[in-house]
Amino acid sequence: MACETLRHNCGVIGIWDNDNAAELVYHGLYSLQHRGQESAGIVTADNGHFYRHYGMGTLTQVFSGPDAIAKLKGRSAIGHNRYSTTGSSSHDNIQPLVAELRDGPVAIAHNGNLVNTRKLRRKLQEDGAIFHSTTDSEIIVHLMARSKHDKVRDKLRDAIKKVEGAYSITVLSNHALYAARDPQGWRPLCIGKHENGSWAVASETCAFDLLGYEYVRDVNPGEMVVIDENGMEIVPFAKPKKTFQCIFEYVYFSRPDSRVAGEYIDKYRRRMGKNLSDEHPAGDADIVISVPDSSNTAALGYASQSGLKFEMGLIRNHYVGRTFIQPTQTMREMGVRLKFNPVGGVLNDRKVVVVEDSIVRGTTLKKLSVLLRQAGAKELHVRVSSPPIRFPCYYGMDFSSHGELIADDKSVEEIRKHIGVDSLGYLSVERLLASVPQGEGIGYCTACFTGDYPTDVSEEIEYESKLRYSTKTGEET
Ligand code: SF4
């Protein structure tokens, strides 16, 4: 799915007690750019003052001015890369959000989607709350503002106990850096420490590697982390229960060089490729290629298990960021060719296994199959390292309606015909689950494959059907 419009939700990072807090957060966000490219922002705290710089676009677009980082004073900072899932893509929704509470300012950066926000927002508005954005993250701020407690940690705990769904958040006050992960553990969040005593929290450990912080451990589901002048303290805020980590973090979202529970994502993704090879061998194929970059690791696993040679049959142009693509007619016509170029010498007269991590709409694979055949491929056998996506995600992935999903109303054979390949095989849910970490209390959300939503999503489904109705009738929802 390296190239369709399946996008991540967000990346968050926080640094506590370092001379170069803003600069470190900037570079950390750079490592997390894959999680969101729509907007970026950093907030720092310095002797009672908060400094903020934010804007629409990728990190380098937002922080292009010479003083953008220099003006962010202070030894602590949080940052956010956003891809909008709840709330529209607008300036008002850029995070970190900053709010003045009774006892001073706080900034919040949130990764994930809350699922009971419509009722909560309505209730807060009836009580007089005025919202400045349409993002669900602002609900947490309003709930904190209404808490009777004095300490920020207690206000935060009060607020997050009232929300449901996916959240991995960082919060900055004048006195501490906080991080919290929802009790189901949908989105990742981890803790790092520098040898100079500084602490960090981030969505993925790849940010720590760049900044020279050592990965300490994950923030476990239902835990809040408080980092202040006394050090780091773990404060559980919910009873341990079965987790529902998003299995798509392992399939596609997280970088293969990031670690979860101490192990690299790379290991699990290779395992998916191996299991895929066992489930769907490709007979007398000659080579295995990947749709770069996100499918590279699974393709390596497939190749090693099948004994087929892994080749670079498609070259991706890394300088075609989606924010730079203007939808002109010429560019639309170039389509997928702008992003991928097949290597004729590798593909010519070969029977090719093409490993892809997921298929959402199938539009890119359909175009790629034409390109690969034009480059001389004799046969195309597509192998997908996740099951067919049949159901919308209400926890952060950017497709949220049935109509967008090719597997919603098509069988595997119909999809094969649609994308124009010789064979098509998907990894089963069982073998996908067998590829990821197991243990007591560890569970996964697989709702986009199975339709088994771990929480009540009736509000979202009702909203989606109203939206469908209003699109047909032109009414407002
Ligand atoms: Fe992840 Fe799919 Fe569950 Fe969404 S529905 S949280 S993408 S596993």
- Cα distances (angstroms) measured from residue 74 to each of 42, 44, 96, 192, 374: 12, 6, 16, 19, 56
Q: pLDDT value at position 324? A: 40
Whole-number pLDDT of residue 325:
41
Is residue 379 within 8 A of residue 320, CB to CB? The reply is no
Helices (H), 92-188: 117-126, 137-146, 152-162
pLDDT at residue 477 tops 50: no
50 lines ligand 1 (CB under 6 A): no
**pLDDT per residue over 427-456, tens digit each?**
999 999 999 999 888 999 999 999 999 988
Q: Taking 50 as the threshold, does the pLDDT of residue 475 lie above it?
A: no
pLDDT at position 456, please? 83
Return left, alpha or beta for 324; rule: phi > 0 is left, psi -120 to 50 is alpha, else beta.
Answer: alpha
pLDDT in tens, 126-156: 888 888 888 888 999 999 999 999 999 999 9
Of ligand 1's listed atoms, the one at least distance from the Cα of 444 is 8
Query: Hey, whose CA ends up nearest to atom 1 of ligand 1?
Result: 246
Please identify which residue in the block is written with the tokens 């909560």. Answer: 120
Dihedral-angle region of residue 388 (phi above 0 means left; psi in -120 to 50 means alpha; beta otherwise): beta
Ligand 1 centroid distance, CA of 397 (Å): 7
Cα separation, 429 vs 440, in Å, equals 19
pLDDT at 357 over 90: yes
Q: What is the pLDDT of residues 464-473, one digit of tens each?
A: 666 555 544 4
Pairing of strands 168-172, 177-181: antiparallel
Residue 225 CB–ligand 1 contact under 6 Å = no
Q: What is the pTM for the complete model shown?
A: 0.90
- Taking CA atoms only, the protein residue closest to ligand 1 atom 4 is 393
Ligand 1 neighbour 453 (Cβ under 6 A): no
The DSSP bridge partners found for residue 218 are 190
Q: Name all domains of the chain by residue range, CATH numbers in brackets.
A: 11-241 (3.60.20.10), 269-440 (3.40.50.2020)
Q: How many CA atoms are closer than 13 Å to the CA of 471, on its beta-carbon side?
A: 8
Question: For residues 402 and 110, which has the higher predicted lDDT (pLDDT)?
Answer: 110
Using CA atoms, how far apart are residues 186 and 244, in angstroms rounded to an integer?
A: 6
Calpha distance 327→337 (Å, rounded): 14
Closest CA to 57 of 318, 323, 322: 323
Q: How far is the CA of 168 from the centre of ligand 1 (A)?
A: 15
- The answer, yes or no, to whether residue 55 has pLDDT greater than 50, is yes
pLDDT digits (tens, 9 = 90+) for 367-423: 999 999 999 999 999 999 999 999 998 887 766 577 779 999 999 999 999 999 999
Does residue 200's CB lie within 6 angstroms of at least one atom of ligand 1?
Answer: no
Strand 379-384 relative to strand 423-426: parallel, antiparallel, unpaired?
Answer: parallel
Is it true that the peptide bond before 293 is cis, omega within 30 degrees of 0?
yes
Residue type, 119: K
Output DSSP code: residue 114: B
Residue 400 has what pLDDT? 56
Q: Which residue has the tokens 């919910």?
A: 238
Asked whether 114 lines ligand 1 (CB < 6 A), one says no
pLDDT value, residue 399: 62
Residues with catalytic roles: 10
**Type of residue numbered 273:** G
When pLDDT is averaged across residues 163-178 and rounded to a whole number, the result is: 95
Counting ligand 1 atoms within 8 A of each CB, the residue from 184, 186, 248, 435 with the most, and so the one to mutate, is: 248
Query: How many angstroms separate the alpha carbon of residue 451 from the centre of ligand 1?
Result: 10
Q: Is 445 in the pocket of ligand 1 (CB under 6 A)?
A: yes
What is the chain's Cα-based Rg?
23
Q: Is 448 in the pocket of ligand 1 (CB under 6 A)?
A: yes
Ligand 1 closest atom vs CA 396: 4
pLDDT at 170: 98
CA 390 – ligand 1 centroid, Å: 11
Is 432 a pocket residue for ligand 1 (Cβ < 6 Å)? Answer: no
What's the gap in Å between 464 CA and the centre of ligand 1? 17
Report yes or no: 376 and 21 within 8 Å, Cβ to Cβ.
Answer: no
CA 120 – ligand 1 centroid, Å: 23
Of 338, 339, 278, 270, which Cα lies nearest the Cα of 310? 270
Cα(309)–Cα(351) distance, rounded to whole angstroms? 12
Q: Which atom of ligand 1 has the smallest separation from the CA of 246?
A: 1
Ligand 1 nearest-atom number relative to CA 392 = 5
pLDDT digits (tens, 9 = 90+) for 206-261: 999 999 999 999 999 999 999 999 999 999 999 877 899 999 999 999 999 999 98
Omega of the bond leading into 96 within 30 degrees of 0 (cis): yes
Cβ 6 under 6 angstroms from ligand 1: no
pLDDT score at 323: 41
What is the number of the ligand 1 atom nearest to the C-alpha of 447? 5
Q: What is the pLDDT of residues 292-343, one digit of tens each?
A: 999 999 999 999 999 999 999 999 988 765 444 445 666 655 678 888 999 9
**CA–CA gap between residue 94 and residue 427 (Å, rounded):** 37
